[in-house]
Amino acid sequence: MAKMLVGFVGGDTRLDKFIEGFSHGVDLDISHAFLMLFGGTYESTGAKEAEDPYPGVWLHSPDKFRGDPHARFVIVDVPDRRAGEDKARALLGTLYGYTDCLETGLQEIFGVSIPDNALTIHCSETVTRILRAAGLDVLPDLEAGSVSPAHLYRTIMEDHNGREITL
C-alpha cells in the first residue's frame, strides 16, 4: 500500500489557541493540518506567505515545520496515492476558506453540518479531500469542510493506523 505524510502543528498565538479550543485540540496542541507532497509543505493558509499571490492552497518550503516543537508528522497508508496527488494538483491555487472555518466551528461546537463550499478550502479540508481522493475513507459522514485539524488527527491515528515519525 502507498503512503502519505500528513502534518499537524499548533502554536502559541491567540489564533492557534482559539482554533485548538473550539476544535477540542487543546490537549493535542493542533491547530493546522498539511501534507508533505511534491517535495514541499502542501497547505492551505489564511495568511499568505511572501511568495503566495493570495491566501490559499500553495506549496511551501519542505523545512517549514521541520524542528518545530509543535509539529507532528504522521504516515498513513492510502490505496491510491496517485489519485490523491492528482487531487492535490487540482486544488493548488484554491482560495482559503474563511467561511469554511465557520462551517467547521458549527460542526465541532454544535454538531450542525451545513453544505460545503466548493470554491474555497481551509487546511484540514484540503488534507481530507486529498486523503479521500487517495482512497482513505476518512470521516465519511462529514462534509470535508466540517473537519477540524484535531478531529482529522484523532481519526487518522485511531481509525487508520497512523504512525507518528520524527523529521
Q: What's the CA gap between 12 and 75, in Å, rounded?
A: 25
Q: Provide the CA 153 distance to its chain's centre, in angstroms.
A: 9
pLDDT of residue 29: 78
Per-residue pLDDT for 18 more than 60?
no
pLDDT of residue 126: 97
pLDDT tens digit sequence for 91-142:
999 998 766 666 666 566 666 676 777 788 999 999 999 999 999 999 999 8
CATH number, domain containing residue 88: 3.90.1720
Distances in Å between the alpha carbon of 45 and those of 56, 89, 134, 135, 153? 5, 16, 22, 24, 18
Identify each DSSP E strand in 10-152 by its residue range: 32-37, 40-45, 56-60, 71-78, 95-96, 120-121
Query: Between these two residues, 15 and 71, which has the higher pLDDT value?
Result: 71
pLDDT tens digit sequence for 24-61:
555 667 889 999 999 999 999 988 999 999 999 999 99
pLDDT of residue 145: 85
**Number of independent structural domains in the chain:** 1
| Closest to 68 (Cα-Cα) out of 92, 44, 41, 98 | 41
Q: What's the CA gap between 45 and 34, in Å, rounded?
A: 9
pLDDT of residue 89: 98
pLDDT of residue 115: 72
Q: What's the CA gap between 128 and 140, in Å, rounded?
A: 10
Containing domain of residue 51, as a range?
Answer: 2-165
